[in-house]
C-alpha cells in the first residue's frame, strides 16, 4: 500500500482518567465494539456575569459520526489542556473568541452548542478548522489497518481519536508548560495563562477565557510566572514571547508560516525558541502546524516502538539518535499521516482507554510479548555458546 499523500498545506505527560461527570447517572455499557455514548440531558448554563454573550438557542448537529470524532479519545488525551469535561461525554472550550461545547448524541454523532461568540458563522468555521474535519479519519484508518493488523484490531474499539489543529501560539505555550511536568500542574499553569485573556463565560463550574495575545503575554514578567508556580519554565515562556514579538511580521504570523515548510525546517525554526527541544517541537508541529508525520517521542512512545516496531531495541536506552530512529520507523510503517497513527497507539496505552478493550486483547498481547522475550533469550544463549 502506498503511503497517503497529505491533503493539506506527540517527555508528553500521561493523562489521567477524565474527571467525573457532573451528573452521577451511570452509563450502561453495551457489547463491544465500541460502547455507544449516552446523552447528557441538560446544557450547563453560562453564568450571568459574562460579558453579554450571544447564545445559540440549540444544540446543533456537526455532521461528524463517532468514527470521525470521539470526544473522550480526543480532548483528555494530552493534545490540549484547555478543554474541560462539563458533562457526560461533553467537553467545553474556547477557539479564539468563541466559547463552545461539544457532546455525543445517543447514536454517537457529535453536536455543538455556542455559548458565546461575536459571530455564529465564524464560530462554526473556527470549530471545523480546529477539528481538522477536512481529513477523513475513516479513510486514514483504513490504510493504517491494511498495513498493520494490530492497528486494525485497536481501531475496532477506539474509533474517533482525532488530531486537532490548534492555534500555534496557544499550542506552543501549552507545551512549554508541559516540560518535565505532570498533567495536574500543566493544567494549572495553562489555566493561569488563559486567565490573562478576555473572560468569555462559565460553563459547568469552569471559567473560560480567550487565550491571551502575545501582546498581553509580553507584559507578564518571569517573576510573576515563578510566583504562580511555573518554576524554570517561566523564563522559557517569557523568553519565547520576546522572541516572537521581535519577528518582523509578528510572532503569530511567523508561527502560522511554518505550516508551509517541510518537517525538518519546521523543527529547526521551532527549536530556535527558548525551551523548545525536539519533543516539544514535534508536539507543536503535529497538533498545530499541519505536520501530520511529526512523531513526538517520549517514554511512552519509546515503549510502543520497542514492543511493536523496533523489537531489536528492547534493551536499549532512549537517546536523541534513537528518537530519530523511532520517528523514522513510524513514518516508514504508516506514511505521511504517521502522527495520526501514533496518536491512537499512544491513547491505547492509557489506563482509561485500556478499559474499552476486551480482556482477551491484552491476554493475546502478553503472550506475544512473552514469546518474543523467549526467542530473544534463546538467541542470546546460542550466540554465547
Catalytic site includes residue 371: no
Report CA-CA distances (Å) from 179 to 189, 217, 276, 286.
12, 19, 9, 17
Task: Spot the catalytic one: 156, 279, 371, 376.
Answer: 279
Residue 168, Cβ density class (10 Å: 0-12 exposed, 13-18 middle, ≥19 buried): buried
Which residue's C-alpha cell is 491512537?
344
Catalytic annotation, residues:
279
Amino acid at each position: 500500500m502506498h503511503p497517503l499523500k497529505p491533503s493539506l498545506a506527540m517527555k508528553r505527560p500521561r493523562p489521567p482518567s477524565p474527571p467525573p461527570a457532573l451528573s452521577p447517572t451511570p452509563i450502561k455499557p453495551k457489547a463491544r465494539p465500541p460502547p455507544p455514548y449516552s446523552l447528557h440531558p441538560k446544557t450547563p448554563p453560562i453564568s450571568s456575569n459574562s460579558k453579554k454573550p450571544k447564545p445559540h438557542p440549540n444544540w446543533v448537529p456537526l455532521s461528524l459520526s463517532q468514527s470521525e470524532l470521539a470526544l473522550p479519545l480526543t480532548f483528555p488525551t494530552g493534545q490540549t489542556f484547555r478543554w474541560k469535561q462539563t458533562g457526560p461525554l461533553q467537553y467545553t472550550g474556547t477557539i479564539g473568541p468563541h466559547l463552545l461545547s461539544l457532546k455525543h448524541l445517543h447514536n454517537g454523532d457529535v453536536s455543538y452548542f455556542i455559548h458565546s461568540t461575536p459571530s455564529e458563522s465564524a464560530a462554526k468555521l473556527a470549530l471545523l478548522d480546529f477539528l481538522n474535519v477536512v481529513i477523513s479519519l475513516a479513510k486514514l484508518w483504513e490504510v493504517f489497518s491494511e498495513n498493520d493488523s494490530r492497528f486494525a484490531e485497536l481501531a475496532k474499539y477506539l474509533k474517533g481519536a482525532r488530531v486537532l489543529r490548534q492555534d500555534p501560539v496557544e499550542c506552543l505555550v501549552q507545551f512549554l508548560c508541559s516540560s518535565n511536568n505532570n498533567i495536574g500542574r500543566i493544567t494549572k499553569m495553562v489555566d493561569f495563562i488563559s486567565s490573562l485573556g478576555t473572560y468569555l463565560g462559565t460553563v459547568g463550574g469552569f471559567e473560560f477565557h480567550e487565550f491571551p495575545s502575545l501582546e498581553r503575554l509580553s507584559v507578564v514578567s518571569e517573576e510573576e510566572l515563578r510566583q504562580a508556580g511555573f518554576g524554570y519554565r517561566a523564563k522559557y515562556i517569557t523568553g519565547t514571547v520576546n522572541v516572537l514579538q521581535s519577528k518582523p511580521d509578528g510572532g503569530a504570523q511567523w508561527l502560522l508560516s511554518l505550516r508551509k515548510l517541510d518537517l525538518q525546517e519546521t523543527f529547526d525554526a521551532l527549536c530556535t525558541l527558548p525551551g523548545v527541544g525536539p519533543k516539544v517541537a514535534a508536539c507543536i508541529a503535529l497538533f498545530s502546524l499541519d505536520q501530520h508525520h511529526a512523531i513526538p517521542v517520549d517514554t511512552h512512545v519509546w515503549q510502543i516502538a520497542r514492543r511493536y516496531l523496533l523489537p531489536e531495541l528492547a534493551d536499549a536506552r532512549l537517546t536523541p539518535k534513537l528518537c530519530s530512529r523511532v520517528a523514522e520507523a513510524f513514518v516508514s510503517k504508516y506514511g505521511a499521516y504517521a502522527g495520526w497513527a501514533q496518536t491512537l497507539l499512544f491513547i491505547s496505552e492509557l489506563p482509561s482507554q485500556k478499559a474499552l478493550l476486551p480482556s482477551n486483547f491484552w491476554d493475546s498481547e502478553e503472550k506475544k510479548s512473552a514469546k518474543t522475550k523467549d526467542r530473544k533469550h534463546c538467541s542470546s544463549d546460542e550466540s554465547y555458546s
